[in-house]
Homo-oligomer: A and B are copies of this chain.
Amino acid sequence: MRTLQQIETIEALREQIRAARRQGKRIGFVPTMGYLHEGHLSLVEEAKKRTDFVVMSIFVNPLQFGPSEDYERYPRDLERDSRLAAEAGVDLLFTPSVAEMYPTQVKTTVSVSGVSEPLCGRSRPGHFDGVATVVMKLFQIVQPDEAFFGQKDAQQVAVVEQMVRDLSVPVTIIPCPIVREADGVAMSSRNVYLSPEERKQAAVLYRSLQMAKELLAQDKAPAQVRSEMMRLIEAEPLAQIDYIEILNYPDLTPVEAAGTGQQILVALAVRFGATRLIDNMILTR
């Protein structure tokens, strides 16, 4: 197992990154909120293929949680994360405290209109401002050549890509495929919240996406596909639908009934008790 440097301050991180740069290394960056699973590790794997020095951050960012959301109870296990990151070949693990990231009240907000508005933007007001702001700050700290994001958070990818384009941020965004459990449930740190019965029923999310794929391939209208998905998910007694949407990708505008060749995003958020799960599939019509 290789040595993993764990660093808690911005200044110390910058020093290590300058040293890596002086050796001509290209920097890959995997921002996470920790409680690592195979989804995160697949990002590291991709980062190792494409860059020479992989920085992972673990920071549960309070700015991106609403007042009634799960910031306090969000799962944390730094010891385990550190071991997994080392095994995956992360070169530098950045684990700042909230006081290190936000020593005074943050007055600066990065907002992305348009792509941040539907889907989770509607269910979680302010969420994507918090995401854009912390990602921008992390990019300024790490100054990576490439940054790796899971496609499970498809809207987050769209927001970050829009921000990077608009502000000419010199970072290439690499979206990576969703990693799933054997029954199709998308890997998520929040899966740990689920009771055994909720966990079992959660498999309906992926089944509904597969069904959507088939129906859209048969040229069914998006509105009809959406109703069929709703019916399938509502058949699981513990599932409560937050949203199901079929949108153009990556601009996340309403999809026209007709139209071929364009990319579309089928996205959903479903609650099981207090736990909110999201999943999606990007398809070409």
Interface residues of A (CB under 8 A from B): 10, 14, 104, 106-115, 132-133, 136-137, 140-141, 143, 162-163, 165-170
Contacts and interface: CB of A to CB of B under 8 A. Distances in A.
A128 to B, nearest CB: 11
Interface of A, helix, strand, loop or mixed by DSSP: mixed
Nearest 6 Cβ contacts at the A-B interface = A108-B166, A107-B114, A140-B168, A137-B167, A107-B113, A108-B163
Nearest to A132: B108
Given A133-B167, A140-B170, 16 more contacts: A14-B170, A106-B166, A107-B115, A108-B111, A108-B113, A108-B132, A108-B163, A109-B110, A109-B111, A109-B113, A110-B167, A111-B111, A137-B167, A137-B168, A140-B167, A140-B168
Contact of A107 (B106, B107, B140, B162): B162
A101 to B, nearest CB: 8
A107 to B, nearest CB: 5
Chain copies in the assembled complex: 2
Nearest to A114: B107
A10 B168 contact: yes
